[in-house]
Chain A
Amino acid sequence: MLKDITLGQYYPVKSFVHDLDPRIKIVLTIAFIVAVFLGGSLLGAIPITLFILLAARAANLPVKLLLKGIKPLRLILVFTFLLNLFFTAGDTVLLAVWKVRVTLEGLQTACRFSLRLVFLVTGASILTLTTQPVVLTDGMERLMRPLARIGFPAHELAMMMSIALRFIPTLLEEADKIMKAQMARGADFESGNLLQRAKAMVPLLVPLFVSAFRRAGDLAMAMEARCYHGGQGRTRLRVLKITRKDYIACAAVAALIAVTAVIG
């Protein structure tokens, strides 16, 4: 069961966005977030929505997939909407029931903030849906490389991330195995109150941690045996190259920022 989990949520198709340089994609995602915050009014949401649809099209992603990404957010969305709706001060009262007043300003802010959340999540998921985690960490490492000169551990962070990605499925599988082994010995993970359930996790977590440390030791030894000695003098398998496609994508995002800045 756990063997089938996909890492991140990479959607393996060929597309314009899939082909973009990961560094450019990361920078453009950040630029997109800036655009989302620039677009303050409800009118500003129109170009952003259009841009997302265009990007989804260029990435060969079904819109359904993007909407699915919002689903786990629905509680926060409803909460944000209601909070802003009822607690924004304003003069134009639309509805007043007892002490609760809904104003036009409240409605506007509520829509704006909820939309902003949706935009942020969809924008970020376009990045993770079109970029393999390995490529993403590669891109991050290279973006952070200038910071390495002032002592920022760019290579180490990227290496940690890629090792974590590699071992998440392995550890999940192991957790599953330990859980079953403990259940076979009569452990109960499902009943009782919160505290009891948390306590029941101890016999799962202790062996899992012990094994994770053993794995870390083994891995360090194997990495050393394969000549790993930090980021110095290291070459990379993937050569990142900025192509015409990257310039087109940059232009598109620049246009979006300009439009939202003007509309406000």
Chain B
Amino acid sequence: MEDFILEAKNVSYAYEEGEGMALRDVSLAFRRGELTAVLGHNGSGKSTLAKLLNGLYVPTAGTVAVCGMDTALDEHTWEIRQAAGMVFQNPDNQLVASIVRDDVAFGLENIGVPSDEMPGRVEAALRDVGMLDFIDRAPHTLSGGQKQRIAIAGILAMRPKALILDEATAMLDPKGRQEVFSVVERLNREQGITVVWITHFMEEAARCRRVVVMDQGRCVMDGTPGEVFTQSEKLRAMRLDVPPMVALGDLLRARGLKISREAMDVETMAGEVLQCR
């Protein structure tokens, strides 16, 4: 119980009364320091889940708790949002100020951090995402990946327990995607921040330690990348792809080669292929 940072119990959610459920009876818990990918096709409920995890939405049925605080209770709202920071999809639509420094400080200003403490926290957060050199720049002069890193810094400055990224790389080019994922992975490793990485890119999911698959508002799979991606038929039935190396492994096995099902990145696959000779 103690070490669950985010916990959803039998959560259902409908955007409007009488409408179809966006989430149906989802129970999920994220442990301290976990790096979890949430996969799902459009309309699978993964974005709804994200917004439930920091109290932007309150569940229609069931409970969501952040560090043990119920999101349905008003008195915890700001503590919850500080503990579970959220990064959104569109890099342009979540930066508030016209200077990077002011934007990173925005959350700190909102939670009433004393003015003399702010510059240090802003700089530390920007250093953590590798954007300290851009502190006086205007957001519109930055690339998409850089803007997302600024958005992450803005959350990081508030010292959250968990970071929820709602398709934060969906609008980025491959380079920006790589940049943002690496930063998040490092924050998880070095600072022990719990990460919920919502995505539809399989390569990213393959690099997480846990993969949750959502379909039609339900959580249908939950396990290590190895456990989830080896069920390629089930994934394809949900209109999801498998990571490229898993697909390659399937093809090679069909041709009779002995390739381990655990080979999910290029290096491991290369090793496996070399062993087959």
Contact = CB atoms under 8 A, between A and B. Distances in A.
Interface of A: 3, 7, 132-134, 162-163, 165-166, 169-170, 173, 214-215, 218-219, 221-229, 233-239
A170 B109 CA distance: 24
A239 B116 contact: yes
11 contacts: A7-B98, A162-B102, A165-B98, A224-B56, A225-B56, A225-B88, A227-B110, A227-B111, A228-B110, A234-B110, A237-B118
Contact of B140 (A132, A169, A219): A169
Interface in B66-103: 78, 81-82, 85-86, 88, 90, 92-99, 101-102
Nearest to A217: B93
B140 A170 contact: yes
B62 interface: no
Given A162-B102, A170-B140, A237-B118, 19 more contacts: A3-B141, A163-B96, A215-B90, A219-B96, A222-B94, A222-B96, A223-B106, A224-B56, A225-B85, A227-B78, A227-B107, A227-B110, A228-B106, A229-B110, A234-B112, A236-B115, A237-B115, A239-B115, A239-B116
Given A134-B98, A162-B97, A225-B81, A235 B108 contact: yes
Contacts of A132: 99
B124 to A, nearest CB: 14
A223 B109 CA distance: 12
A99 B129 CA distance: 75
B114 interface: yes
A162 B108 contact: no
Given A162-B98, A235-B113, A3 B140 contact: yes
B98 A226 contact: no
Q: Which 3 A-B pairs have the closest CB atoms?
A: A218-B93, A222-B94, A237-B105
Interface of B: 51, 54, 56, 78, 81-82, 85-86, 88, 90, 92-99, 101-102, 105-116, 118-119, 122, 138-141, 151, 154-155, 158
B224 to A, nearest CB: 30
Contacts of A169: 138, 140
B195 to A, nearest CB: 16
Given A224-B56, A237-B101, A237-B102, A7 B108 contact: no
Contacts of B106: 223, 226, 228
A175 to B, nearest CB: 13
A226 B154 contact: yes
Contacts of B56: 221, 224-225
Contacts of B95: 166
A164 to B, nearest CB: 9
A228 B106 CA distance: 8
A7 B97 CA distance: 13
Contacts of B108: 235, 237
Contact of B110 (A7, A165, A226): A226
B81 A226 contact: yes
Nearest to A162: B97
A222 B105 CA distance: 14
Contacts, number: 101
Contacts of A162: 96-98, 102
A168 B100 CA distance: 16
Contacts of A3: 140-141
Given A133-B98, A227-B82, A237-B118, A218 B90 contact: yes
Contact of B78 (A134, A170, A229): A229
A140 B90 CA distance: 30
B161 to A, nearest CB: 14
A132 B94 CA distance: 21
Contacts of B99: 132, 134
A185 to B, nearest CB: 23
A227 B96 CA distance: 13
Contacts of B139: 166
A193 to B, nearest CB: 35
Contact of B86 (A7, A225, A228): A225
B118 A166 contact: no
A238 B98 CA distance: 14
A237 B109 contact: yes
Contacts of B88: 218, 221-222, 225
B75 to A, nearest CB: 13
Contacts of B105: 237
A162 B106 CA distance: 12
A61 B219 CA distance: 63
B93 A226 contact: no
B56 to A, nearest CB: 6
A232 B57 CA distance: 23
